[in-house]
Chain A
Amino acid sequence: MSDIGRIGPSTGVVPTEGAHRIPVLPRGLRRAPSGIDEVATEHLIVNMGPQHPSTHGVLHILLELDGEVVVAAEASLGYLHRGIEKLVEHRRYHQIGTLLDRADYVSGLHSETALAMAVESLAGIEVPEKAQWIRSLVMEVNRITSHMLWLGTFGLDLGAMAPFLYTMREREALLDILEAITGSRMMFNYVRPGGVLADLPAGIGVALDTFLATFDGYMDEYDTLLGGNEIFVERVRGVGVIDATTATAFGMTGACLRAAGVDYDVRKAAPYAAYAHVEFEVPLGTVGDCWDRYAVRMEELRWAGRLIRQLLDGMPEGDHTAKVPKGLRPPAGESYAAVESPRGELGIHLVSDGSDRPYRMRLRSPAYFNLAVIDEALSGGLVADAVATLGSLDIVLGEIDR
């Protein structure tokens, strides 16, 4: 731990003793399972990020390395903090969604739905059947766009360039469809308290049919390109193992938790929107390594496709929104609503003091909890494993830093 690391731009001045020292990592010097323990080497502390191609945004990880073996890892957060939770306290209930879109900017519809559900339970609003089905539909479409981005960047993390460009094909097709439905590609503000902004436009069923016709075939292609590649399998199998005990202890949710074999999916545990009316399975892994997280998400993608088909076929008639007053003033009280976002349980805790603005809003961002485990998950692996594991956790910094 005698290495000096400088944070911030170089000043050209060699740091004197004690100046600009990296904070001592909590778990200190740990023995790396490298098999060359008897050779005493100095540990190296490197800054991975905030500018690094594999940190998926502006994540800063302090890595303590013994050669190329990671001894300890500590995440340093907050580079993308915009104070969304505080800003919300100064917005009317209808204005919050637009901020939440910018929290998890990859799957905005999920946070919007969680918010709408929390507001509805506070104000006692009854949501029309059709609105519930539309919410489920757009959320599943959003899940595919999010998982596709993850799949592509996971490939990039492992050095495979091709899958990223191919996943953009599916992602773009669905973003076009989402734009037709919501008016925006990523910053939707479509799910509102009481229902959704607008009814599904005509022809959306045909557009989704066209997409679904090729989707399963393309999924097989990805399975061949990545899952069928010996190099890929060698890079992910047994790497970054997070077992069920650790995962639950750290409050992990979503695919990262299910990869460890824990059967928890908010869509099943506390059905919302239209999930009680459709049939789907929750794919589970066994050991919780990178391969399991990959396989679980790949299955989820296929299930999302099947869910879209069911939701389209079963779409009821009726209104797309309930009548909600513009200056909504829910009675004083608290509510919590959670959805299964592509990253896990995304919860909104709202506290109302009876005014037209929330007294407090708390966003339970799943990726924050999923990221907390990195010291356990990365230690003992190589730098390349650290990159693979981080990629398999599917973090979105906008949601972690808020």
Chain B
Amino acid sequence: MSPLLQALLRTLAAVALLLVNGVVLILMLRKVLARLHLRLGPTRVGPWGVLQTVADVFKLLTKEDFRPSGADKWLFRLAPVLVFVPSFMAYLPLALSDTWRFSDLDTGVLFVLAAGSLVPIGILMAGWGSNAKWSLLGGLRAAGQQIAYEIPLMLSVLGPVMFAGSLNVAAIVNAQRGVWLGVIPRWFVLPQLVGFVIFAIAGQAETSQTPFDMSEAESELITGFANEYSGMRFGFMFLAEFSNMFVVSALGVTLFFGGWLVPWADRNPLALALGPAVFMLKTYLGIAVMMWVRGTLPRVRVDQLLAFSWKTLIPVSLAWTVLSALVMRAVNL
């Protein structure tokens, strides 16, 4: 197969995964939240409401593509693309197993984070281009939040990267094979527990979910930056949100929970063959926890959010990075 065709097919596979994820995650969010809220969620469209998301997509497709008068034409139109494309790009370095991967980037982790940090530009464009005050407030909030939480997210990732000695996701996962003391799986979550907690908090903020859903903040800014959007332009922003959730959870599984490895059986060929399924299961469990947090907690205030990041999260993650580097050097892990 020519390399070009191969690259094309791999990209298409990533697109397919993203779309399937979107459909499944939207239904999952509804069902998980319903479970937390003493209600049923969708039940009418298809058995157990499984076709609800499909119906929603059709609704969005048939809606008028509305642009407010006075909105900046190009910014308004480009913003959904700029929100959606990076969230898709972040899929490319991910590896579902040793052989199931979209690309083999040696800077995979860096690439995921870099793609993620493009999203606030799109959100800012949407907020500014809509020429609406509430949207603008939402866009500005998103920019401030994203900058504040990008730093602890990057720092928390450094721990596993140092342990594995590589930015390649497959190398990081393979470094987590084996056991400590004969029983405990060598997952980086144990030595990097503090790093993982920082990653989880920053990840929740990165995906703009309650308690950090500043840019949307329904009860304050209505829907924030997405106020003036309708139809599939809104649909793309919505999809990007779910795709970001998947990326953050997948990154967490890769860095801290041994990726596709089955504990105590990480050299068993059958377990390795089931790798992609194991990886998806772990990722979806992570997403379920994120949804659980989302359904339970109130929202923090924007100044508290920023103060928490700059005054607590960043110093702690800096100190933790230095500490884990020193310890690693001392015991020659």
Contact = CB atoms under 8 A, between A and B. Distances in A.
B134 A54 contact: no
Contacts of A160: 210, 296-299
A156 B219 contact: yes
A158 B219 contact: yes
Nearest to B301: A384
A261 B134 CA distance: 36
A29 B218 CA distance: 28
B299 A158 contact: yes
Given A46-B134, A165-B39, A226 B298 contact: yes
Interface stretch (B30-38, B52-60, B88-96, B310-318): B30-38
A259 B58 CA distance: 50
Contacts of B61: none
Given A14-B70, A382-B301, A165 B219 contact: no
B75 interface: no
A380 interface: no
Contacts, number: 84
B300 interface: yes
Nearest to A161: B295
B220 A231 contact: no
Contact of B217 (A10, A44, A159, A161): A159
Interface of A: 10, 12, 14, 44, 46, 52-54, 68, 155-162, 165-166, 169, 225-226, 229, 231-232, 234-235, 382-385, 387
A400 B141 CA distance: 33
B301 A235 contact: yes
Contacts of B36: 162
A382 B133 contact: no
B46 interface: no
11 contacts: A44-B133, A46-B134, A46-B137, A54-B220, A158-B298, A159-B218, A166-B38, A226-B298, A235-B299, A382-B303, A385-B301
B259 interface: no
Nearest to B212: A159
Interface in B210-238: 210-211, 213, 217-222
Given A14-B70, A54-B220, A155 B298 contact: yes
B69 interface: yes
B302 interface: yes
Contact of A162 (B69, B133, B221, B295): B295
A166 B37 contact: yes
Nearest to B132: A46
Interface string B132-154: 01100100010000000000000
Nearest to A158: B298
A362 B301 CA distance: 41
B38 A165 contact: yes
Given A54-B219, A384-B302, A387-B219, 9 more contacts: A44-B133, A46-B133, A159-B210, A159-B297, A161-B37, A169-B38, A234-B304, A235-B299, A382-B302
A46 to B, nearest CB: 5
Nearest to A232: B298
B165 interface: no
A395 to B, nearest CB: 15
Contacts of A53: 218-219, 222
Given A161-B37, A384-B217, A231 B296 contact: no
